[in-house]
Structure 1
Amino acid sequence: MITPDNWDVLLDPTPLPLEMGYERLDDGSLHIAARTDMHGCTGEMFEWWFRWRCDTQKYVWWHPIDHLSSTWAGTLSPDTHVGSEHIVVEKLTDLPATDLLIQFVGAEEFFDAETYRTARKRGEVSCAVVGRTGIGHEPPRTDDGQVLGGRLLHVGRDTEWGLAMRSHFYMGTDLPATGATPDQVAAAVPIELAQGLLAHAYNEFTFLSRILPGLYVAEHRDQIPPVAPW
């Protein structure tokens, strides 16, 4: 199992036991893994997309089936997605529309700092967008403001054909700390959630790979003059 205790394995490009699918962890929470080949994309493009902070129109461009609305809060620096909070309404495939909040944090909160730096230096990782997730637009938080509920980790690697994206989600992660039993945690995060999120994640980044390269080139044309494709 890939648990919060060994997330560093996501930094190694070697195929994992679970690259696409879901599993119930011992504490009752859910782990969902989705692998998406984002042809023509790079890790720089992917991290820029989250720094760009799409409004509702662009959020619908991203996933025209499931995405419904998008606003942002938190620390909105143009240089990093870390500290920002994405407030969204979206469907998870066949599940009803849900209010969600994603609080983006630094990679070092989830990974060993030295292991992460080494993976970036070697080119084994070219992007990492990670965060805490909560159900509702006012999810429970710790006293210092950390969102409680789940975790998401998007870890990508540049290849000759594009970006190999690993997306891993952990739903119900914080419930055991409240004293909930594994059965109670499992009831709160049913298997249908895993099924819906798995399909949603794969579709989401497949859709994004179709528009991201062109948007990145257009938005950076003053810094990186584009080259005509003929």
Structure 2
Amino acid sequence: MALEDTLTPSIEDINRLLESDFVSEESGYALLPGPMAYVQSRKFFPGCTAQMFKWWFIWHPAESERYTLWFPYAHVSNPCVHHQRLCDESLSFEERLYGNTFCASEYVGDRLMHLHIDFQQPASLGLNTDLYREAKIDGSVSALMSLADHPEVPVSLMVHLFKEVPGGMYLTSRYWVGAHPSMARFPGAEKAASLLKENGFGEAELETLAYEFAVHDMCEFNHLASFLPDLYREFGTPRPETTAIKPEKLQGLMARKDQRCVPGQTPLISREVNSSMSCSTVSCSVNSRYQQKPKIISSSNSRLVSLGSSPLLMAFSTSFLGISLLRSMN
């Protein structure tokens, strides 16, 4: 996309997302001066509420099995550092998530990345509290990201703002990965450029990463939108009983049709299943990724993505596979 249609990670620019008259392309990517990878998107979640979206961020980190539902060909695991706090129902969503870190292992393109995602209050990232309130934003799952082996160096700012609208919910997202003067407001960010270069992210690689992040974002959030309301209705409220599933039953279910596991690999059962919304379930060791890159279509200075006949389409054709698996455990 054209540079004039992008935003920088500056405080001034990120607050434009809160302006009622702000207009932008819904999806696209670019390489910003710095260099910095840039991705933007806006997605509609039909039938979804803010409560459902918040619940997902509390519910899914408990086990890798849940995380892989989100993007079967790319997500591996996403444990939470302060898991007990995340599951503390006496706290608000913000108290449970902000100041907490998810340790994500996921494929972005063909690269397995190990990331620390440090969720923070919107104001800590530079979003204006008054504008945020006036925009009637229902919530934020925005964060600073770092490479897992260098958690003290934020290499990325990720902004996700969600808002209920008639018929569902809109999610507005922005990603910035790399170096930019405005990132200096975050301690350690001045080391991002050299650290990324040491890890093989030069200018060309960052442009490729922008493309891969755009595809990843499109796939994971469109896929989540397709099943989240049904998943929430099934598991989003506590149940009085706890049902344990026999390992042999789970393995039988997995053997039927599990696109997420390496062929020939047996899922590893870590503990019994709790069918409620609490943070305990089965774990399947996963090391899978999508194998074919989508094609780029150029149109009106924007980059659109065509999945073509990619194996990734199978993830969408089996949208409810994971939900059916969880339901059959009861």
Q: Same fold (TM over 0.5)?
A: yes
Matched, 1:32 2:39: yes
Higher strand share: 1
| One-letter amino acid of the counterpart of residue 210, structure 1 | S
Counterpart contact for 1:27–1:176, Cα < 8 Å: no
Partner of 2:278: none
Counterpart contact for 1:157–1:165, Cα < 8 Å: yes
Matched, 1:191 2:207: yes
Matched, 1:167 2:173: yes
CA shift for structure 1 position 83? 1.5
Counterparts of residues 6-85 of structure 1 (less than 5 Å): 6-12=13-19, 14=21, 16-54=23-61, 55-74=63-82, 76-77=85-86, 78=88, 79=92, 80-85=96-101
Structure 1, residues 155-201: CA drift from partner, whole Å, max 9, x if none?
122122211111110101459734959xx785385211011100110
Counterparts of residues 52-131 of structure 1 (less than 5 Å): 52-54=59-61, 55-74=63-82, 76-77=85-86, 78=88, 79=92, 80-92=96-108, 94-110=109-125, 111-120=127-136, 125-131=137-143
| One-letter amino acid of the counterpart of residue 32, structure 1 | V
Counterpart contact for 2:143–2:158, Cα < 8 Å: yes
SS of residue paired to 2:14: helix
Question: Separation in 2 of the partners of 1:172 and 1:106?
Answer: 21
Counterpart contact for 2:154–2:192, Cα < 8 Å: no
Counterpart contact for 2:145–2:158, Cα < 8 Å: yes
Mark the structure with the bigger radius of gyration: 2
Partner of 1:209: 225
Question: Separation in 2 of the partners of 1:179 and 1:44?
Answer: 35
Higher relative contact order (CA 8 A, sep 6+): 1
2:161 aligned to 150, 155, 175, which one? 155
Partner of 1:2: 7
1:139 aligned to 145, 150, 155, which one? 150
SS of residue paired to 2:166: coil
Counterpart contact for 1:60–1:69, Cα < 8 Å: yes
CA shift for structure 1 position 3? 1.7
SS of residue paired to 2:97: coil
> How many residues get paired?
210
CA shift for structure 1 position 133? 0.5
| One-letter amino acid of the counterpart of residue 9, structure 2 | P
Question: Separation in 2 of the partners of 1:180 and 1:139?
Answer: 13
Unaligned runs of 5+ in 1: 142-146, 224-230
Question: Separation in 2 of the partners of 1:12 and 1:41?
Answer: 23
CA shift for structure 1 position 95? 2.2
Give the RMSD, CA atoms, in angstroms. 2.6
Structure 2 CA distance for partners of 1:133 and 1:176, relative to 1, 3 Å = closer
Question: Separation in 1 of the partners of 2:101 and 2:227?
Answer: 23
Structure 2 CA distance for partners of 1:128 and 1:16, relative to 1, 3 Å = same
Unaligned runs of 5+ in 2: 1-5, 240-330
CA shift for structure 1 position 220? 4.0
| One-letter amino acid of the counterpart of residue 175, structure 2 | F
TM norm structure 2 = 0.57
| One-letter amino acid of the counterpart of residue 164, structure 1 | Y
2:190 aligned to 177, 191, 206, which one? 177
Structure 1, residues 19-54: CA drift from partner, whole Å, max 9, x if none?
311122232212211222211112221122112242
